[in-house]
Amino acid sequence: MIHNGRVKGLDGLRGVAILLVLVYHTWTESSGLATLGEGPFFLSLLYAGSTGVTLFFALSGFLVGRPFIEAIRERRPLPSLGRYASQRALRILPTYYTIALIGVLLTARYDQLVPALTLTARAYDVGQFSTVWWSLGTEVQFYVLLPLVCLLMARLPGIAGILVLAVVSGFVYWSVVTKVWSGIDVGFETQYRLILSVLGQLPAFLAGIVVFLCLPSGGVRLSEPLARLLTAVMLVGLMVVLLPVAQIGPRSYIWVTPWYVVPESLVWGAIMWIAVTRTGEAETLLDNQLTRYFGKISFSLYLVHMPVIHGVMDHTDLPLGITVALALAFSLLAAYLLHRFVESPLLSLKRKLTPVPA
């Protein structure tokens, strides 16, 4: 399951997450068809591809939460907060800042430089560049919240800590999804941001943490045939779960059903658990060379794909099929260049500056 610090199956799922987001945005932005309507349910993966972000959050819950959970389990000191902060900052900020600065320059939104650098730019503040930045803010919020919660758990071990955490997190999440803040007149935008914040997306991060907690001990693994069968069942279940999202569009559904992330997280959590515990080494639909490659460039691709898609749309007048193909091709090219010359060298630097303790 875990070899040399790498978790089998999760790199492929990261690729699946970015492919869902990429295809969803490329198709809906290029075609102007933002909803599935009464179309077949299996196309819900296309029209609700934003679920890839839910999968990204679940993967973060598993991978970022893992060292803290292991420390609490083994009753040893929590990971160094300085090293943890350095790792997280080196992982996302240099690559993000590269795109943020390019975005501010190309859009001439110089007044948005500070919001961009502080991860508070939203929606179209920096044109199409900033339309996906909300999730980075949510991710960073999780990075901050995680060690604080783990410090509490370390001070309140056992059932007491679990109960306190469950009650507090449950109340906060209930407050967000039921929009009780509307009675305080916080406004539509603030309520929407709360839903998209770590508070509203908490089930996704928790799903990843729970998957790690539920990994079988003693080498118990799922047989390859059973793993493939269960994955197929989960994928069909995911299509069903995403159907109402696809029918009215993710942006509207998020407001109408702010707890949408709960069923998505449950299904993705199950798929993650299957991927990590299967015995086989053979390539699968979700874990193969292609998905692993997309997983490797996923962060760069996530940052560049929206401005590239709209750049192609704004500067060409071609048939839909060619527009989609060009948008995909140029998105991949831009992501490759960003990963090759910015992200990859900085990841190497991160490994040198923050080596894994012996």
| CA 214 from centroid of its chain's CA atoms | 21
Residue 187 lies in a domain: yes
Q: Is 25 exposed, middle or buried (0-12, 13-18, 19+ CB in 10 A)?
A: buried
Nearest to 332 by CA among 344, 340, 342: 340
- Which pLDDT score, from 0 to 100, does residue 3 have? 58
Eight-state DSSP code of residue 286: S
Position 217 scores a pLDDT of 77
DSSP string for residues in 184-223 = GT--HHHHHHHHHSTTTSHHHHHHHHHHHHTPPSTT--B-
For the ranges 53-57, 169-173, 238-242, the lowest mean pLDDT is seen at: 169-173
Averaged pLDDT of the chain: 92
Q: Looking at the predicted structure, is the pLDDT value of residue 296 above 50?
A: yes
HSE of 22 in the Cβ direction (CA atoms, 13 Å)? 29
* Structural domains of the chain, count: 1
- Average pLDDT, stretch 246-250? 96
In the predicted model, is pLDDT for residue 152 greater than 90?
no
3-state secondary structure of 26: helix
8 pLDDT tier (thresholds 50, 70, 90): confident
CA 172, CA 224: separation in Å to the nearest integer?
A: 40
342: containing domain:
2-353
Residue 270 domain-assigned? yes
* Angle, vertex CA 94, rays to CA 89 and CA 95, nearest 5: 115
Q: Does residue 179 have a pLDDT over 80?
A: no
Q: Are 272 and 59 in contact (CB under 8 A)?
A: yes
What tokens does 338 get?
A: 């960003």
What tens digit of pLDDT does each residue of 22-35 get? 999 999 999 999 99
**Residues whose CB is less than 8 angstroms from the CB of residue 356 and which lie 6 or more positions away in sequence, other chains included:** 5
- Say which residues have a Cβ less than 8 Å from residue 7's Cβ, sequence separation at least 6: 1, 62, 63, 276
Does residue 81 belong to any structural domain of this protein? yes
Question: Whole-model pTM above 0.85?
Answer: yes
- For residue 104, what are the contacts with CB-CB under 8 A and spacing of at least 6? 110, 112, 113, 116, 126
Quick check: 5 pLDDT over 70? no
358 falls within a domain: no
* Rg of the chain, C-alpha, whole Å: 20
| C-alpha pair distances (Å), 12 with each of 21, 92, 230, 267, 288 | 15, 20, 17, 16, 6
User: What is the distance between the alpha carbons of residues 68 and 84, in angstroms, rounded to a whole number?
Assistant: 10
pLDDT tens-digit map of 316-349? 999 999 999 999 999 999 999 999 999 999 888 8
pLDDT attached to residue 36? 94
Q: Report yes or no on 222 lying in a domain.
A: yes
Decide the pairing of beta strands 6-7 and 2-3: antiparallel
Q: Is residue 297 part of a domain?
A: yes
> pLDDT: is 349 or 61 the higher one?
61
Q: How far apart are CA 286 and CA 266, in angstroms?
A: 17
Q: What's the confidence (pLDDT) of residue 233?
A: 98
Burial class of residue 83 (count of CB atoms within 10 Å of its CB; 0-12, 13-18, 19+) = middle
pLDDT above 90 coverage of the chain, percent: 79
User: Does the residue 137 lie in any domain?
Assistant: yes
DSSP string of 34-73, one letter each residue: ---TTS-GGGHHHHTTTHHHHHHHHHHHHHHHHHHHHHHH
pLDDT band at 358 (very low <50, low <70, confident <90, very high): very low
Task: Give domain status of residue 139, yes or no.
Answer: yes
Does pLDDT of 352 surpass 90?
no
Q: Does the structure show a pLDDT above 80 at 218?
A: no
Q: What is the mean pLDDT of residues 128-156?
A: 94
Type of residue found at 245 = V
Which conformational region is residue 185 in: left (phi greater than 0), alpha (psi within -120 to 50 degrees), or beta? left
Mean pLDDT of 276-289: 92
Q: Is the pLDDT of residue 355 over 70?
A: no
Is residue 119 scored above 80 in pLDDT? Answer: yes
Question: Per-residue DSSP letters for 111-178?
Answer: GGHHHHHTT---TTEEEEGGGGTHHHHHHHHHHHHHHHHHHHHHHSTTHHHHHHHHHHHHHHHHHHHT
